[in-house]
Amino acid sequence: MDENIIQNGDFVFIVLDPKRRWLAQAKSGEEFHTHRGIIHFDDIIGKSYGICTFSHPHDSQGYKFYILKPIPSDFILHMSRKTQIIYPHDAGLILVYGGLRPGSKIIEAGTGSGALTCILGSYVRPNGHVYSYDIRAKSLKQARRNIKNAGLDDVITIREGNIVDDALDHKDIDAVVLDMPIPWAAVKKVKKYLKLSGSIVSFSPTIEQVKKTTFALEEHEFFEIKTVELLLRDMQIKRNATRPDSRMVGHSGYLTFARKIKNRENPYRGIKPQKPEFVEMDGMPLRRDSDD
C-alpha cells in the first residue's frame, strides 16, 4: 500500500490558512463542514497527500484547502483533549535528551489525553513499547481514542494505575517519562523498573515541583541531573520586516532529566571537604547594626 495515497479512514490535516486548520478522518461518502464551504472526502480519497481541493458548492464557496499527511505535532496540537498537553518542542527535547529511539521500552505517567504518549509511541516503533498509566479512567477513555486514531495501539498499552502507589510489573525499562503533579513521589518506585544508565524525565510547570523532584533524584542517587526550560519563538519572515513574532508561549514547563547509575565509594581517593551550601550572612556589612 502506498503510504502517500489518502486511504478511506485515514486522518488528514486540512489547511485553509495559518490559523484555520483541522485534523479529520477521511471517510468515503462523508463531508467536512467549514465556514468556508464543504470538503467532500470523495474528492481526495485515492489521491496523493499534498494536493489541494476546493470547497463545495464551488460557485458560491470554492475556497482552496491543502490536504497534508498529519505529522506528530499536528496530532498533538489538534487532537481532542481535556488535560493540559505537552507542547511539541518540549516533546522533542524529551526524545533527544531522554535518549529515546526505535526499540525503546518506556513507562509514562500520566497519560492525560495521550498527546505525549502518541509522540513516544511513534518514535519507539516498530519494536519498542510505551506503557502509560493514569489514575483517571476518564482521561484514559479519551487517550485510547486518540491513540487509536493515530494508529499506534500496537506499540502503546495504557492502563488505569497509580505510578506512586501501585506495584507495577516492569523491568529493563529504557526511560520513564513523568508528566504529573507530584513526580518526586514516583522517583523511588520507578528507579526499580529502569535499567542501569536508563533515563528519567520529568515535566513540571513550576520550580517548586522541580526542586522537590531534583532533591528526590539526588536522594536516590540518580546521576547527570539537570533541568532546562525551552522557549520557542516563531519568526515572521517578510521582505523588509523579518523578526520574531510579537506573540509567543511564555512558559510551558521545566524539563528535568537524570540517569540511573550504580554508585560506589571511591576507595582510592580521599574525600574533599564539602563546601557550605549557604552563604553565611552574619557579620556581613549589610547586617551591621544601625548605630554602627
Q: How far apart are CA 226 and CA 250, in angstroms?
A: 21
**10/179 with CB nearer ligand SAM:** 179
**65/133 with CB nearer ligand SAM:** 133
Using rule CB under 6 A, residue 84 touches ligand SAM = yes
Kindly state the smallest distance separating residue 76's Cβ from ligand SAM, in Å.
7
Residues 6+ away with beta carbon under 8 Å from 43 = 53
Q: 89: helix, coil or strand?
A: helix
Using rule CB under 6 A, residue 132 touches ligand SAM = no
**5/232 with CB nearer ligand SAM:** 232
Kindly state the smallest distance separating residue 117's Cβ from ligand SAM, in Å.
7
Length in residues, the chain? 292
Q: Which of 104, 113, 122, 199 binds ligand SAM (CB under 6 A)?
A: 113
Site residue total, ligand SAM (CB under 6 A): 22
Tell the burial category of 139 from Cβ atoms under 10 Å away from its Cβ (0-12, 13-18, 19+): buried
Q: Which of 135, 151, 211, 225 binds ligand SAM (CB under 6 A)?
A: 135
Using rule CB under 6 A, residue 89 touches ligand SAM = no
Instruction: Phi first, then psi: give them for residue 47, nearest 5 degrees.
Output: -100, 170
Q: How far apart are CA 176 and CA 191, in angstroms?
A: 9
Helices and strands: H and E segment counts in the chain: 6, 15
Residues that bind ligand SAM (CB under 6 A): 83-86, 109-110, 112-116, 133-136, 139, 162-164, 179-181
